[in-house]
Amino acid sequence: MEEFYTPINQVKSELEARWKNIPLRNKIEAFLGDKLPAPLKTSNRAVLVRCIASPDNEFFNFCKQAEVASLSPLLIEYPEDKFVAKNSDKYALCMPHFFDEKAKDYKQTPKIKLIDFNTYEGRKFKDVKTLWGNGLVSFHHEILKRGSRPQVEIFDFSDYFFSTRHTSDFYYLYYLGLFLCHGVLFENMLMSEEEKEFTLTKVLPSFKELQKMFGVKPLIVPVTPPESEDDFFWWTYPKELKNVTENYIKELESDNPKI
């Protein structure tokens, strides 16, 4: 899927050139309307989009990539999305695994259960509570705060994401439109058996339509190396964050002794 990507050593100069192209930028902003997320109203942002901002190994690789590209990292989340246990990415947010060099696969890595799965199946992430009574979203933000230096800005764009998905025949048109001249999306366009149909029927048509409309393609850089994007390492958290997480849980237990 090389056609999707822009080389990381070219994205900043390309982003700046498009930003300075006032007719192009005006045309794009007229298309996006007044719902453009505030952090993207200035240029030079590297963007990672996930249901909940969380410090897994993919996140730390994103930060390294943003530094290589000389872009300011921004985490965009949409906690209005619903938890579905069969979705592996969403499941991992509720049962984080921690990397272990001795583990042969994902299932062998240490893990911590954060929620009651039966209670929250189909509920919005913003309404999901941990086993210790606090919100799942705030739980991940706290681990991110304790485990990440420097701090990275987080922005909730649930309103934008869910209000624009069905305003066009192209599912991701307004989403990918954010990355024409307002930022660089760090994401892998997956072609695994699980993801291939979505990529080909939802993502690719929107990508090509934007290219036809504006004469430039969305700026996308792989967040993890394509040759190793299926490695379970990216779905795990750094092993040192296991102690950070366990210590935070102890604090929550001491604050709520009846739990």
165-172 CB contacts, 8 Å cutoff, 24+ apart: 170/205, 170/206, 170/209, 171/202, 171/203, 171/205, 171/206, 172/202, 172/203, 172/206, 172/207
- pLDDT for 34 equals 80
Tell me whether residue 64 is exposed, middle or buried, using C-beta atoms within 10 angstroms of its C-beta: 0 to 12, 13 to 18, 19 or more. Answer: exposed
- pLDDT for 200 equals 86
pTM of the model: 0.93
pLDDT in tens, 109-120: 999 999 999 999
Residue 213's alpha-carbon distances to 10, 60, 80, 93, 207, in angstroms, are 22, 34, 30, 37, 10
Neighbours of 212 (CB within 10 A): 9
- pLDDT for 194 equals 67
CA distance 234 to 56: 7
Give the three-state DSSP class for 241. Answer: helix
Alpha carbon 186 to chain centroid distance?
A: 8
Q: Choose among 230, 216, 161: nearest CA to 184.
A: 216
Query: Rounded to the nearest 10 degrees, how much is the dihedral formed by the CA atoms of 127, 128, 130, 132?
Result: 30
Q: Tell me which H or E stretch contains 248.
A: helix 240-255
CA distance 46 to 9: 13
- pLDDT for 103 equals 92
What are the per-10-residue average pLDDT scores of the chain (259 residues)? 88 96 96 87 90 97 97 96 94 97 93 98 98 98 91 91 74 92 93 76 91 97 93 96 98 79
Tell me whether residue 44 is exposed, middle or buried, using C-beta atoms within 10 angstroms of its C-beta: 0 to 12, 13 to 18, 19 or more. Answer: middle
